[in-house]
Each structure stands twice: as C-alpha cells, then as structure tokens.
A = this chain, B = another copy of it.
C-alpha cells in the first residue's frame, strides 16, 4: 500500500513535469514522455501504471512542506531531481542492457543506443533548464546557486557510484563495506540531495541541514537494499523486472556480496565457480538461491535495511521538526522496506 504522502504531492509533481515535457514538439521529446510512462511508443497516452513512484520529488516537497507549510520554492528542484533520476534510468538501461522496465521495453530497446543516449542527455538538460524557475518562485539568487551546486555534487557522486557498480562487475571479492559505499553514492546521493534541498528550500535559515541530508542518505540505502532483495526474491509480475536476472547477470548486489563472504567453504567454492563461469541458467540460479538460504542472506539483508530505516528516522528526531514530518518519514521508511516493486 503506497503511503498517503505519495498521493499528497503526486498531482502537483505530475503537472509540473508534464508542463515541461509536453510543451515541446521536437521528436526527441516523444522518447522522454515514453520513458516517463505517459505515452506508448506511438505517442498515444497511456494509463498511469507505467509511471514511476516519484519518491525523490515527494521527499523534497514533503520536507519543505513540513518545515514551512509551502512547496512553491522547492517544486522546481523537486522536478529537476525527478528528471535527473529518469535521465539516469535511461542510461542505466543501456549500460545494463536491460530490455524491460516497469513492464515495458526500455528506450534503447525500442529506439536503439544512439537515440537513447541522446534522450538521456536531453532529459538531463531539461532538468537543468527547469531548475532555474526556482528564482521566479522566490528563491534568492545565492540560495539558487547553492541548490544548483548541491545538485551537481549529488550527480557527480551518483555517477561515481555507477562507475564503481560497473567496475565491481566480475569481481568476487567485493566487501560489504565496498558495496555499501557504492550504493551510498549510486542511490544515496540523489535521495540525500532531495531531502537536503527540501530542507534548505523550505527553510533557508535552517541550522541543521546535515540531519536532513543524513536522513535522505539512509532512505536511499533502504531503497537500494530493498531493490537488491526484489532482484533476487521479488515477483516478476509485480516488479516488472526479470527476477533471477541479478543472479543470471552476476550483479554484485548485497545478498551475493554477503553470501560470497559468509557461506561455508564448500558453498563459497560453488558460488565462486558459478560467478566465474560465463554460463548461468535456471539450474545455477536455483543453486545460488539455496546457498543464499543456508547463509541466511535474506535475513542479513532485511536486518540491514531495517537498520538504515531506523537511522533515517533517528536523524530527524535530533532536529526541531513537527510530528507530522516525523510521521511522514516513518511512513516512507515502512513503505520502502516492504515495497514489492
């Protein structure tokens, strides 16, 4: 069940996004609208089932709203972050050779790699472009520059994380710390930025921005660790991703990183063999799943996600925010922990 905080800002986020991406007649915007889940491959409108959850802009608006009772100043940044996130999905799908996302063919699978690279780059430029409307919405120039640099820092960190993710491919000795550092960059940076910008835009005079940044980072960890769980134990019909794929593609996600260093000697040898071999079919997937069960990888992963969930809540308990913000964050944590897609 999606928490109420997501429905609260959904229409204002969608309206702002659509205003930006529907105003352009250029052909390439068709690819952008498709990737947002609004249109099909022919440009016809679709229902909302292919849209993302808009977690990042929701967090940004939720915090701004909770601190100041307004979302106007934060809206351009929230929208910009969602566009950046979608830019990264378009490029990620090329990098990972994923042909399906949210039950539909990916952009590159439909239009080819060259156009998909350009579509991603365009999405990112649109994100930059839309950010500056914050000045018209009353954000002071120096705050606006600060917001823009924070976003740039977050992208830089995100890209560093994506690079590490790819660089870890094929390695059998990634430590849990290395893995956590990687996802903290890859997924945590932008989520952290969302919450941090919600705080600074809601309340520019705010003293303790760091607690918000910390909260967002922890939420990002919960999100990614849950994603890793779904990549192994999720239900394909619900996730819209091919389950078992993370094993078949030998992705270094938390359950396997943990199992590689916490299984019996025999199991570890089998795992290493499977993860070294190029072939990994349904039979190998079953073997890996059994080893993960013996290593209690699911329990470990679940516990760690919960630990980060508590950290997210604790971070905001330290600062002067209303009970409603704390309730919202708790609702978000509880949703991220158990979401099925």
Interface residues of A (CB under 8 A from B): 26-28, 91, 94-96, 113-115, 117-118, 121-122, 124-126, 128-129, 132, 135, 141-142, 144-145, 148-149, 152-153, 155-156, 159-160, 162-163, 166-167
Q: Which residues of B contact A159 (CB under 8 A)?
A: 28, 118, 121-122, 125
Q: Given A125-B155, A156-B129, A115 and B163 touching (CB < 8 A)?
A: yes
Q: Is the CB of A163 within 8 A of B94?
A: no
Main secondary structure of the interface of A (DSSP, over half): helix
Q: Given A113-B94, A117-B91, A148-B148, A26 and B142 touching (CB < 8 A)?
A: no
Bound CA–CA A340/B122 (angstroms): 32
The 6 closest A-B pairs by CB, nearest first: A95-B114, A141-B141, A128-B152, A28-B163, A125-B156, A125-B155
Q: Is the CB of A118 within 8 A of B162?
A: yes
Which of B144, B160, B167 lies in contact with A145, CB distance below 8 A?
B144
Copies in the assembly, this chain: 2
Bound CA–CA A94/B153 (angstroms): 26
Most buried by B among A113, A121, A167: A121
CB distance from A127 to the nearest CB of B (A): 9
Q: Is the CB of A113 within 8 A of B95?
A: yes
Bound CA–CA A145/B142 (angstroms): 9
Q: Which residues of B contact A129 (CB under 8 A)?
A: 149, 152-153, 156
23 residue pairs A–B, Cβ–Cβ below 8 Å: A91-B121, A95-B118, A114-B166, A115-B166, A115-B167, A118-B162, A118-B166, A121-B155, A122-B156, A122-B159, A122-B163, A125-B155, A125-B159, A126-B156, A128-B148, A128-B152, A128-B155, A129-B149, A129-B152, A129-B153, A132-B149, A132-B152, A145-B145
Which of B27, B117, B145, B155 lies in contact with A94, CB distance below 8 A?
B117
Q: Is the CB of B145 within 8 A of A135?
A: yes
Which of B94, B114, B121, B124 lies in contact with A114, CB distance below 8 A?
B94
Q: Which partner residue on chain B sits nearest A111 by CB separation?
A: B166
Bound CA–CA A69/B143 (angstroms): 31
Q: Is the CB of B167 within 8 A of A152?
A: no
Q: Which residues of B contact A166 (CB under 8 A)?
A: 114-115, 118
Q: Which residues of B contact A153 (CB under 8 A)?
A: 129
Q: Is the CB of A26 within 8 A of B163?
A: yes
Q: Which partner residue on chain B sits nearest A132 by CB separation?
A: B149
Q: Is the CB of A141 within 8 A of B132?
A: no
CB distance from A184 to the nearest CB of B (A): 15
